[in-house]
Structure 1
Amino acid sequence: MADLREQIDMTHRTCAVDGCERDHTAKGYCQAHWREWRTKGVAGKSFPVLTVHTCTFSGCEKPRLSRDLCQGHTQQRKLGKALAPLRSYHHTGLRDEQGRKRCSSCKRWKTIANFYPKARHADGLTGYCKRCDRDMRLRRNYGIGVEQYGAMLAAQGGGCAICAVTPPEDSSLAVDHDHACCPDRKKSCGSCLRGLLCEDCNRVLGMFRDDPARFQSAIGYLTGSCP
């Protein structure tokens, strides 16, 4: 504590970071730089050398947030999960000599065109490539991966299972499933998948609520055979 007082003149009412003229509120920092130091362990380009209390989880070097744990391990505890090492994202912005980026999932080096833009990331791109992102979404919502999706699409001749229209290069067909089995329209157990549909056909099924009687009535109306 004595060293801290020597480094920071507590009678000086402005922030200890060079160039910052805001009043200090804690540890000699203004509110913004104190929050930056509290979460990142640093504050601005020039700051006093303060003692940063790190997380007590073995091998974790992140600043301590609550009850001796960092933010990530605190979140694990809140969710009732067993404490485990946090995934490192430091490599997601690296590039090789050809300017390619390495996918965090498949670990393959791919061109920038294979990643979606994401403004919140340091390099402006997602950590997962488009293929892995698609694979994770399919597995999370329908219990299949991109390989199973490709097999279903090939079995349908590359087009919609109803109208046979092929999707544009920058889009894909919707995965249709039996809503009587899984009422959630965005998720399926994986065993009730019916096929891949274009946007129009998928919308029609939803509007007709998968009722065959409505489709028969619509056919009769279109063919002029209604009584």
Structure 2
Amino acid sequence: MGHYAQWQRGETVRPLLVRYPQSGTCRFDGCSQPVRTRGLCQRHYKQELRGADLTELPPKVARVKDRECAYPDCTRVAHARDLCLKHYGRAWAFNLTAETFIRLTYQTSCNACGDAGGELHIDHDHSCCPGPRSCGQCIRGVLCMSCNTALGHVKDDAGRLEALANYLATSDPEIGGASWGSLYK
């Protein structure tokens, strides 16, 4: 409530806010952390925002900054699950442990066609997990870009794949007595 509203109602005009020092140490007894807001350190202020009683805080655990990513040949600093941010993000998307993620991504050939060239992609059953993340239980293997794209276009439907294979085996390259090439000359 503003000063004018206090005066208009006939109340004694009082300060609008309790002013806490913005420097020094936290006002919580026994806390020596620097002040962040309202006379409290950051961690005690978060307790106050949640509406919790202010309590003594457990000591912070120092993060180990010099661990390297567990992914072979990666020299980045580990972020979580012993993986760097890049590898952790991919493992998180498929809900995989670091060991399983490394084992899958270190395969050298496509599980469908056997192609050993190019980047391989982790494949999961989209009927189990239709969203952007996987539960980790429906991982089917790794596929090359072509097989992964083809599987996506047929919507993981084995019947549709069979029909396409039959079509390729029985199709006639000439339609109506003329080849496709001669139609466009």
- Please give the range of the TM-score, normalised by the shorter of the 2 chains: 0.5 to 0.7
Letter in 1 for 2:150: V
Q: Deviations over 1:1-60 (max 9, x none)?
A: xxxxxxxxxxxxxxxxxxxxxxxxxxxxxxxxxxxxx7xxxxxxxxxxxx3344849767
Match among 146, 167, 181 for residue 200 of structure 1: 146
TM-score normalised over the length of structure 1: 0.46
2:178 corresponds in structure 1 to: none
Match of 1:161 in 2: 111
Unaligned stretches of 5+ in structure 1?
A: 1-37, 39-50, 93-101, 116-125
Q: Which amino acid aligns with 2:92?
A: R
Aligned pair in 2 of structure 1 residues 188, 61: CA closer, same or farther (>3 Å)?
A: same
Deviations 1:93-125 (A, max 9, x none): xxxxxxxxx12777xxxx9x712xxxxxxxxxx
Aligned pair in 2 of structure 1 residues 199, 57: CA closer, same or farther (>3 Å)?
farther
Question: Which structure has the larger Rg over C-alpha atoms?
Answer: 2
Unmatched 5+ residue regions in structure 2? 1-21, 173-185
Q: CA deviation at 1:135?
A: 5.5
Identity of aligned residues (%): 23
Out of 110, 116, 137, the position equivalent to 2:89 is 137
Deviation of 1:148 (Å): 1.9
Say whether the 8 Å CA contact 1:54–1:62 is kept in structure 2. yes
- What amino acid is aligned across from residue 195 of structure 1 in structure 2? G
- Contact 1:138 1:145 (8 Å CA) reproduced: no
Which residue of the other structure, out of 114, 135, 154, is the alignment partner of 2:75? Answer: 114
Q: Which amino acid aligns with 1:136?
A: Y
Question: TM-score scaled by structure 2?
Answer: 0.54
Choose the corresponding residue for 1:181, options 117, 128, 131. Answer: 128
Over aligned residue pairs, what C-alpha RMSD do you find? 4.3
SS at match of 2:122: strand
Instruction: From the superposition, tell whether residues 144 and 52 of structure 1 become closer, same or farther in structure 2 (CA, over 3 Å).
Output: same
Q: Which has the higher contact order (CA 8 A, sep 6+)?
A: 2
**Counterpart position of 1:65:** 37
